[in-house]
Chain A
Amino acid sequence: MTNDLAIEVTGLRKSYGKHAVLDGVDLAVERGSVYSLLGPNGAGKTTTVRILATLARADAGTARVAGSDIVADRAAVRRKISLTGQYTAVDAAQTGEENLRMMGRLAGLSRAEARQRSQALLDQFDLADSARKRAGSYSGGMRRRLDLAASLMGRPEVIFLDEPTTGLDLRSRQAMWQVITELAASGVTIFLTTQYLEEADQLASQVSVLDGGKIVADGTPSALKEQVGGQRLDLVLASEADYDEIGRRLGHRVARRDRASLTLGVATDGTGPEVRLLLDQVDPGRTAVRSFAVHAASLDDVFLALTGHSAAQPGSTDGLTNDSTDDPTNDSTSEEHAHV
């Protein structure tokens, strides 16, 4: 076992009934890094986190977290980790301060230590003004921050964040990113799941893409981008009719859609001949494409290329992801992601 790894997972499997949620997951997370497990709803992210945080048992496979085996040495793992799930785990009827102190005491701090640390965290997370108010009166973003602060009371070595910004508005999300970035700078290991590619790109030094219970790719964000050609050709089209027509004709080759700006993005290597060829193919009459630009590929493009479907869900398209709601691979009503 290498000491430089905070999390080491081999062959993790988990099924519910006949449905295999995790189908042999391997991953390794370096100590002190921010690692992101990226995937759509239903990919198995939460199951992975629950197993690693000792809340669920894997059917097969082994994992060590913070140096201890998650099954044989569960108590030791629990002393060194914290988990912030998708549903906030604070008492609405207790004040922010009371919530933090309680978690501190449960984590083994003395009364005095719990008071000190809760004060420090309330300051750090910009909650000092509301410390004496009941958590039930907090906004969604404040409650998430309080939740994260609560998980830090016991000074965990490894922090699991399961979709920490899902459901937050853009400003709260950015505040959360700020907090996570500061945390990362303090040297703890952060294991983050997200369905937002931009989030992984912003925060993580290492990304694994989970789809259908399997890791389909991993590496640094930039390495992953290079893996799919590295560039994206964005075409701004002249009319909605052109947008629809060309979008249909390109089908799966479209890496990015944005109806509002009539823009379609296509993966390319960025070389002159290929871009010229693409333009001719797309628009032989030379009337449909108003302008074009070549960009470095985003993780969105990577995701699409790797899994054949988009990562984002509609309703979360508030400028974070590039998909618009007309993307046929999105399913706004289903909890499960739309791949069958």
Chain B
Amino acid sequence: MSELTGPMIMTGRALRLNWRNIDALITALILPVMLMLMFVYLFGGAIHTGTAYVNYVVPGVLVLCAGFGSALTAVRVCTDMTDGIVDRFRSMNIGGVAFLTGHVVASVVRNTISTLLVFGVAYAIGFRPHAGASGWLVAGGALLAFILAISWLSAVIGLVCASPDAANGATFGVLFLPYISSGFVPIATMPTWLRGFARHQPSTPVIDSVRAHLMSLPAGHSTWIALAWCGGILVVSAAASAVLFQRRAARG
């Protein structure tokens, strides 16, 4: 078996499990859309951002999407780990990288689809980005980097947690992070003590970069800071997952 066959088969498996679990899939796709509608129509009128609120909020919702997707990824990994199937894979010499790559790729695919869905609905309710090709490219790249990083992080959460329920709960932090960012309200409107955290956490630079590039605003250093965050999360998560998979699976 070539080096690539294992990860490819595991990816195929994870994708198939994606489609088979319709309930979870629909939740992962619909929830971000509902949230966006809620923000735009319910809160949007009261929030002043100096622009049409839908144009302001879309990047935040997209980052929130990745958070929602992460819960499912963590649960899937944890379910496998607590099941007999991981022993089967290991006794067939399938390593942690192949196993987790499958879950991460499936997670990225799922999140990309929900991202596109949110884009579509946003456009339908008046979202009008004005970006050139390079703007779209950078915004898309930043989002993809974030989705990838969060997917690996979720895989690690799935490895660490003792049960799928615990994994679901543990992703709450990832889920909540985008709320305390520049995603939904300008940071300047937050209480002073919260602003420091809001500025210096990973979702803010991602959101700032996506927003700036889609709306042709000055992006400052946000893209680089976003990439640094994503790269950092990715490297740490990947390294941790390799070690944790061996340790966790070797128990007992």
Residues of A within 8 A of B (CB): 46-47, 50, 53-57, 75, 78-79, 81-83, 85-91, 93-94, 98, 102-103, 105-108, 134, 147, 150-151, 154
Contacts and interface: CB of A to CB of B under 8 A. Distances in A.
11 contacts: A50-B87, A53-B87, A78-B93, A85-B88, A89-B87, A103-B88, A105-B5, A105-B9, A106-B89, A134-B20, A147-B84
Contact of B250 (A46, A56, A78, A91): A56
Contacts of B251: 56
Question: Size range of the interface on B?
Answer: 20 to 34
B9 A93 contact: no
Nearest to A76: B93
B85 A90 contact: yes
Nearest to A153: B92
B84 A106 contact: no
Interface string B86-121: 111111111000000000000000000000000000
A112 to B, nearest CB: 15
B5 A55 contact: no
Q: Which 7 A-B pairs have the closest CB atoms?
A: A87-B84, A89-B88, A89-B84, A93-B20, A78-B93, A89-B85, A83-B91
B91 A55 contact: yes
A26 B108 CA distance: 49
B13 A94 contact: yes
A106 B9 contact: yes
Nearest to B85: A89
B83 A55 contact: no
A252 B84 CA distance: 38
Contacts of B6: 106
Interface in B52-101: 83-94
Contact of B252 (A54, A56, A134, A154): A56
Contacts of B86: 89
A68 to B, nearest CB: 12
B84 A91 contact: no
A270 to B, nearest CB: 44
A94 B9 contact: no
Contacts of B83: 87, 89
B125 interface: no
B91 A93 contact: no
Contacts of A57: 250
A150 B251 CA distance: 23
Nearest to A87: B84
A148 to B, nearest CB: 11
Contacts, number: 77
A87 B83 CA distance: 7
A108 B2 CA distance: 9
Interface in B1-19: 1, 5-6, 9, 12-13, 16-17
B44 to A, nearest CB: 39
Contacts of B20: 93-94, 134
Given A57-B250, A105-B9, A94 B16 contact: yes
B88 A150 contact: yes
A93 B87 contact: no
A105 B12 CA distance: 11
A91 B88 contact: no
B235 interface: no
Nearest to A50: B252
Contacts of A81: 91
A305 B179 CA distance: 68
Contact of A86 (B12, B84, B88): B84
Nearest to B20: A93
B91 A53 contact: yes
Contacts of B252: 46-47, 50, 56
B190 interface: no
A105 B98 CA distance: 14
A46 B84 CA distance: 13
Nearest to A81: B91
A128 B90 CA distance: 28
Contact of B91 (A78, A87, A105): A78
Given A53-B87, A81-B91, 10 more contacts: A55-B249, A82-B91, A82-B92, A89-B85, A102-B9, A106-B1, A106-B5, A106-B6, A106-B92, A154-B92
Given A106-B6, A108-B1, A54 B94 contact: no
Contacts of A50: 87, 252
A154 B88 CA distance: 12
B51 interface: no
B87 A85 contact: yes
B21 interface: yes
Contact of A79 (B5, B85, B93, B250): B93
Contacts of B12: 102
Contacts of B17: 91, 93-94
A103 B87 CA distance: 13
A48 B107 CA distance: 36
Nearest to B90: A55
A56 B86 CA distance: 13
Contacts of A93: 16-17, 20-21
Contacts of B9: 102, 105-106
Contacts of B89: 106
A103 B12 CA distance: 12
A107 B84 contact: no
B2 to A, nearest CB: 9
Nearest to B10: A106
A107 to B, nearest CB: 6
